[in-house]
Amino acid sequence: MEHVKHCSSCRTLSEKTICNICANDIRDDTQLCIVETPTDIHAIEQSGVYKGKYFVLSGYLSPIDGIGATELGLDELEQKLRDQNVEEIILATNATVEGEVTAHYISNMAKQFDIQITRIAHGIPIGGELEYADINTIAHALSGRKNYD
Amino acid sequence: MEHVKHCSSCRTLSEKTICNICANDIRDDTQLCIVETPTDIHAIEQSGVYKGKYFVLSGYLSPIDGIGATELGLDELEQKLRDQNVEEIILATNATVEGEVTAHYISNMAKQFDIQITRIAHGIPIGGELEYADINTIAHALSGRKNYD
């Protein structure tokens, strides 16, 4: 454990200066998925559908706890968007109030760059039944409905 | 309970021939939300965001149990789409294998009409955290991501 540090590129936990995902040239540099914790990277990797890179906030905006843009590494993120060839950032913060606020803040910051800003979908979880979903999730599932093809 | 029957328009359970929602002229006739059970109507009504009408299948396609298009009232639905001024059907069947198959079948049937066919969104439930979501839900949340504004 004493060798564990933060990846200097994406801020995830790693025993190397640059983590395995950041060091992997096969992964798509143009997509950057922004998550709250290293565990979220693990969850997304398990799904096997994402081939881009990550940026770990290690938390969410919480001024009352003294966690602001600096603590979340948003300066580093801004620098990354300025210097690197990122074409899309995917806001994958949690679907909680704090996660939404953090996503909104990052989106505002990223608007100065010519990149696509997307947010992961919210709605009924796969395998889930409508009658057991809470009203906010149902409201989002309806307002976020998509053309079926 | 002896007076409970199926609404002759939307097939939900009701003590009247035409249920309160179908009889309500203020509700939008051009939107038709297709659900599996009357309980789903209750769940959607609780969310307060939907002002259209409903159609209740009372189940899902399950040939092995002898439940086909006739049992789900799809002939009635087809007639409804032909005769009435429906502009959009919202497929709100469950996010289960059976619900997806049923949605697919109805979508194929409805293609003959000039109407919009939509499906409720699937993804991370509101208040949910990414690390606790299953891999299929994460895969859907990523592939179904939307532009953030």
* pLDDT, one tens digit for every residue, chain A (149 residues): 778 999 999 999 999 999 999 999 999 999 999 999 999 999 999 999 999 999 999 999 999 999 999 999 999 999 999 999 999 999 999 999 999 999 999 999 999 999 999 999 999 999 989 989 999 999 999 999 999 97
Q: Is residue A57 part of a domain?
A: yes
- We report the CATH number of the domain holding residue B51 as 3.40.1360.10
Answer whether A124 sits within 8 Å of B95, measured CB to CB. Answer: yes
B35 and A CB contact within 8 Å: yes
Q: Is residue B93 part of a domain?
A: yes
Answer whether B131 sits within 8 Å of A90, measured CB to CB. Answer: no
Q: Is residue B22 part of a domain?
A: no
Instruction: Count structural domains, chain A.
Output: 1
Binding-face residues of B in 81-140 toward A, CB within 8 A: 90-92, 94-96, 103, 107, 116-131, 133-140
Q: Is residue B58 part of a domain?
A: yes
Cα B64–chain centre separation: 22
Domain that holds residue A44: 27-143
ipTM of the complex, rounded to two decimals: 0.90
